[in-house]
């Protein structure tokens, strides 16, 4: 049994922490924005007043937070994780944040005699609940091996991509592919619908061919059924694409279709849809076409 500090038990973090608890690990929780889930507390998790207290009690600290500034604050602000660490402990950040800042965070934690892994995930709320997340890890191989049994409780596809920052870079690559595929599925179903062909039957046919994808399967159905309750919010995907585009600029790299996808998300946000599921990107294209997928 490990003693695990878990900070960020929201839509994704709650089921992830639940799997760790079900695996026999002791949790030390810190509230971040939302109240702590009662089911975790009822299961034996301990509520800690600060991140420092959680880090003092735990051997491994996991963060699952919305953005880079949140992780920075939780780790290094007053009463933060860094103040409670002692040599030999480990910090695992499973948020999706800046690869550049991740390298800085890792160096600061390493200077305290502790390991640092960046381990962002893909799979959304469904994957978090099913413990089927893809986990992309950056950091030392020895630390990765040490954390392996914890990752296996939360995910199904677990890969050590490279050194610190590599996990976050991989996640941004994932988000580029996801955004562009959502855009492609949106265009295809919109085209079929506008042409007078049933988009549900088009989707069914395409799922048996080379155009099949998880996004066609899941998000294509969302577009047809008009079900945009968030599994992964537009505003979070905007954040990830901002990181990808700023990283591309620093590399002297052009990502034209990523920029287009971001503009479609921006159009959605302008309509007040930023908290809808990212499959609602289709609504921006529908506005341009003056036609709804149906």
Given a contact cutoff of 8 angstroms between Cβ atoms, the answer to whether 150 and 2 are in contact is yes
Q: Which residues belong to the active site? A: 171
Given a contact cutoff of 8 angstroms between Cβ atoms, the answer to whether 237 and 175 are in contact is yes
Which residues contact residue 223 at a Cβ distance below 8 angstroms, ignoring those fewer than 6 apart? 185, 186, 189, 199, 279, 282, 293
């Amino acid at each position: 049994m490990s003693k695990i500090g878990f900070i960020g038990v929201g839509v994704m973090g709650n089921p992830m922490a639940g799997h760790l608890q079900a695996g026999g690990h002791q949790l030390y929780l810190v509230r971040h924005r939302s109240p702590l889930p009662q089911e975790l507390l009822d299961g034996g998790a301990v509520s800690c007043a600060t991140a420092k207290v959680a880090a003092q009690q735990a051997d491994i600290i996991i963060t699952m937070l919305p953005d880079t500034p949140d992780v920075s604050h939780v780790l290094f602000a007053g009463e933060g994780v860094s103040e409670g660490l002692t040599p030999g402990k480990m910090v695992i950040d499973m948020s999706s944040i800046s690869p550049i800042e991740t390298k800085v965070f890792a160096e600061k934690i390493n200077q305290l005699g502790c390991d640092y892994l960046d381990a962002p995930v893909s799979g959304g709320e469904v994957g978090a609940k099913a413990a089927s997340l893809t986990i992309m890890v950056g950091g030392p191989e020895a630390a990765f091996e040490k954390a392996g049994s914890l990752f296996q409780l939360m995910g199904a596809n677990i890969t050590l991509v490279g050194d610190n920052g590599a996990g976050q870079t991989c996640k941004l690559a994932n988000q580029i592919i996801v955004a562009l595929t959502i855009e492609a599925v949106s265009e295809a179903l919109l085209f079929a619908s506008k042409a007078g062909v049933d988009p549900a039957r088009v989707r069914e046919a395409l799922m048996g061919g080379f155009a099949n994808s998880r996004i066609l399967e899941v998000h294509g159905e969302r577009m047809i059924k008009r079900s945009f309750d968030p599994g992964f919010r537009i505003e979070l995907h905007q954040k990830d694409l901002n990181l990808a585009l700023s990283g591309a600029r620093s590399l002297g790299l052009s990502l034209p279709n990523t920029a287009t996808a971001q503009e479609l998300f921006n159009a959605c946000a302008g309509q007040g849809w930023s908290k809808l599921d990212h499959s609602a990107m289709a609504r921006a294209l529908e506005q341009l076409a003056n036609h709804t997928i149906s």
